[in-house]
Amino acid sequence: MPEVSIDSCKKEVLIGYIGILYRKFKERFPNEPINFTEVKHGEWLWELADNGWADHICSKCGYTINTDIHVIVDYDYCPNSGARMDGE
Ligand SMILES: [Zn+2]
């Protein structure tokens, strides 16, 4: 089977996925509000960790990733809060 990248999906296909995910989310968390228009912005704060790497801390939720600076630049969004890490 050919591998299909999500980046090359047509708009209609992506919207279909959003619909499926929205339904699944509402099944599991019926009382949780979803606001698609709210984009949270944050930035990675960091401090040196004991293991010699850095603790990168989400400015929005405090989620911490202990990793190297070359890895953290690939994290455009916080995996915990979904904040977009553009520092705005
Ligand atoms: Zn976060």
Domain boundaries, the chain: 6-85
Cβ-based neighbours of 72, under 8 Å, separated by 6 or more: 44, 46, 54, 56, 65
Report whether pLDDT(8) > 70: yes
- pLDDT value for 2: 66
How many A from CA of 84 to the centre of ligand 1?
9
- pLDDT value for 17: 81
Report whether pLDDT(71) > 70: yes
- Tell me, yes or no, if the pTM score tops 0.75: no
Residues with CB under 5 A from ligand 1 (ion): 58, 60-61, 63, 78, 80-81, 83
pLDDT digits (tens, 9 = 90+) for 11-52: 888 888 888 888 898 899 999 887 766 788 999 999 999 999
Q: DSSP state, 41?
A: B
